[in-house]
Amino acid sequence: MTPSEQHADVIVVGAGPGGSATAAWLAGAGLDVLLLEKATFPRDKICGDGLTPRAVKELIALGVDTEGWTRTKGLRILGGGHTLTLDWPETTSFPSYGMVRARGDLDEALARHAQARGAILREGVSVTGPVLEGGRVVGVEAKLVDGRGRATGERTTFRAPVVVASDGVSSRLAVAVGREKREDRPMGVAVRGYYASDRVDDYLESHLELWTTGADGERILMPGYGWIFPLDGGRANVGLGILNTSTAFGQTDYKDVMRRWVETMPGDWEFPEGSELGPIRGAALPMGFNRTPLYADGLLLVGDSGGMVNPFNGEGIDYALEAARVAADVILQARGRTTDAQREAVLQTYPRILRDELGGYFTLGRWFAKAIGNPDVMRLATRYGLPRTTLMRFLLKVMANLPQERGGGIDDRLVRAMATMAPDA
Ligand SMILES: Cc1cc2nc3c(=O)[nH]c(=O)nc-3n(C[C@H](O)[C@H](O)[C@H](O)COP(=O)(O)OP(=O)(O)OC[C@H]3O[C@@H](n4cnc5c(N)ncnc54)[C@H](O)[C@@H]3O)c2cc1C
């Protein structure tokens, strides 16, 4: 090892949930893992901070200490003059609670967890591109940055036979090897802010009516939802997410929609002027595997870099954690093979496994995203769906992807059958 070139079994780029979980799994299995992160912890990440039971299950599997983290009992949905409170489903596959954890804390906890498992975390390392040999990714080039993101002028090369790009929605690394985002996948945009609030609540709250004004002054119901997620320390994460399937997408000032929504907040929450704890910030939500291939030429994509956000609800942390678990297993199994050809064949199973597990479900999500892009569908669904508790309980299982994995009731079987029958392309 020289100061300017370092080697590992696996390089993981980006220490968000996807990267840290990949590194934790691999290091826990005894591999030399370099986890490269351009920021310095604690760092903020624009997010709703919500963890469904599906995400909690991944944290449990990973052995993360979640003692003292805010727990939720379920989801309260408001829309069309109705309010419906649904508990998370009781199944043997998932815990019946979710969590809310500010990303500053969640991501640092996961990165430290990876370190504790033996991964080498290098903060302040901004990866600038791949090292290629014969068209294969065999490492990365990086520049070192200080705690404020300014380049120090130092550059380093890291080498490994396998590289994981878990560098988020923009994925500089994936783009550098020609993996651009797919236009045939839904995209969302979401904005959020932190607000002071004394209110204690065990439920995530979701508001289905978000209005904006069209070019001709008409009111347009937007495909998406607003949320209020209760956090510890007298704070709430308030935000809204919109899909690109409506005509209002791209022509709307989402921060302004959010400000007006917060000012006139329906329901029991109140956020008076001065209760905001920072600026409203926004980012994109890449959905339904919007960047492919998820593996080629030594480079795997995990999480937002591979566009793994659930089109039904905008949840991406869980899917980054799930992909991390699958990626780590595939890499580990590949290492156990004896020839390059065998190793490559195993690595190539990564996209197939993810598509088998999530492809059909994401296709349903894409259809859903397309359907609610029509304001009439959105309006009818809100008006006639919400008063029907049994239907909504079923929809919660669909939208948060929480069917019992084996057996279960007719609703669990139906959700699984729908996802199995939908094409995974
Ligand atoms: C407003 C908003 C609200 C959301 N709310 C929720 C929610 O409530 N629940 C939920 O499950 N999902 C939510 N999501 C989605 C969720 O935030 C993402 O899906 C999730 O963060 C993906 O994790 P990741 O590890 O793939 O990427 P990220 O969390 O984006 O992590 C990528 C990491 O890579 C680092 N990085 C980037 N480039 C480089 C580089 N060149 N070199 C080194 N490091 C680099 C970044 O600093 C970062 O630490 C929300 C998204 C938005 C925008």
Q: In tens digits, what is the pLDDT along the chain, a chain of 425 residues? A: 444 569 999 999 999 999 999 999 999 999 999 999 999 999 999 999 999 999 999 999 999 999 999 999 999 999 888 899 999 999 999 999 999 999 999 999 999 999 999 999 999 999 999 999 999 999 999 999 998 889 999 999 999 999 999 999 999 999 999 999 999 999 999 999 999 998 889 999 999 888 877 777 777 788 889 999 999 999 999 999 988 887 777 778 889 889 888 888 877 888 988 999 999 999 999 999 999 999 999 999 999 999 999 999 999 999 999 999 999 999 999 999 999 999 999 999 999 999 999 999 999 999 998 888 887 888 888 888 888 888 889 998 999 999 999 999 999 999 999 999 998 86
CA-nearest residue, atom 16 of ligand 1 = 316
* Ligand 1: centre distance to CA 275 (Å): 26
Beta strand 281-286 with 187-196: parallel, antiparallel or unpaired? Answer: antiparallel
Q: Tell whether ligand 1 has an atom less than 6 A from the beta carbon of residue 304.
A: yes
Residue 170 neighbours by CB distance under 10 Å:
14
* DSSP secondary structure of 80-110: TTEEEEEEPP--SSS-S-EEE--HHHHHHHH
Asked whether the whole model's pTM tops 0.85, one would answer: yes
> Is residue 38 classed as helix, strand or coil in its secondary structure?
coil
Cα–Cα distance measured from residue 337 to residue 201, given in angstroms and rounded to the nearest whole number: 51
**Ligand 1 probe mutation, 317, 326, 399, 402, most atoms within 8 A of CB:** 317
Q: Tell whether ligand 1 has an atom less than 6 A from the beta carbon of residue 145.
A: no
Cα–Cα distance measured from residue 317 to residue 308, given in angstroms and rounded to the nearest whole number: 9
CA-nearest residue, atom 31 of ligand 1 = 16
One-letter amino acid of 194? Y
Tokens 């199973």, located at residue: 349
* Ligand 1: centre distance to CA 278 (Å): 19
Cα 277 versus chain centre, distance: 23
Nearest residue to 311 (alpha-carbon basis) of 142, 411, 182: 182
> Is residue 11 classed as helix, strand or coil in its secondary structure?
strand
* Ligand 1: centre distance to CA 103 (Å): 9
What ligand 1 atom has the least distance to the C-alpha of 190? 1
Residues pairing with 6 in the sheet: 158
Beta strand 219-221 with 211-213: parallel, antiparallel or unpaired? Answer: antiparallel
One-letter amino acid of 298? G
